[in-house]
Amino acid sequence: ETGVTQTPRHLVMGMTNKKSLKCEQHLGHNAMYWYKQSAKKPLELMFVYSLEERVENNSVPSRFSPECPNSSHLFLHLHTLQPEDSALYLCASSQGLISNEQFFGPGTRLTVL
């Protein structure tokens, strides 16, 4: 595997379900990110991890819970979501937080029924 991978690519869940999104980066980067992309809205930064420590929680509801067990893996745990949470969830990684480009995964298309 190369670059940034995300699983699953598509997910349909009910509002009472619990699921997790997984992201893995094979680039040796030390920062990872979760973004939400909804229709007709700009990409929204959700969480930032640097050296496995969370450095940003961008006013995200508690029904989204991130986890970064090591520098290569990032999870987004989901529970009791709402239909308006349906979106494309993108993971990214970078070397450092500012000067270098972020590389994105293919995203998970989430539908909440």
Partner 1 sequence: AQKVTQAQTEISVVEKEDVTLDCVYETRDTTYYLFWYKQPPSGELVFLIRRNSFDEQNEISGRYSWNFQKSTSSFNFTITASQVVDSAVYFCALIANDYKLSFGAGTTVTVRA
From 7, 82, 100, 111, residue interacting with partner 1 (rule: CB under 8 A)? 100
Q: How far apart are CA 111 and CA 28, in angstroms?
A: 31
Residue 105 within binding range of partner 1, rule CB under 8 A: yes
From 12, 55, 57, 77, residue interacting with partner 1 (rule: CB under 8 A)? 55
DSSP 3-state assignment of 2? Answer: coil
Q: 46-58: buried (b, 16+ CB within 10 Å) or exposed (e) per residue?
A: bbbbbebeeeeee
Q: Which two tokens stand for residue 79?
A: 């529970």
Residue 60 within binding range of partner 1, rule CB under 8 A: no
Nearer to partner 1, 16 or 59 (CB): 59
Nearer to partner 1, 71 or 80 (CB): 71
Count of beta carbons in the 10 Å neighbourhood of residue 29: 19
Query: Which stretches of the chain bind partner 1, using CB under 8 A?
Result: 33, 42-43, 45, 48, 55-56, 58, 88, 90, 92, 97-107, 109
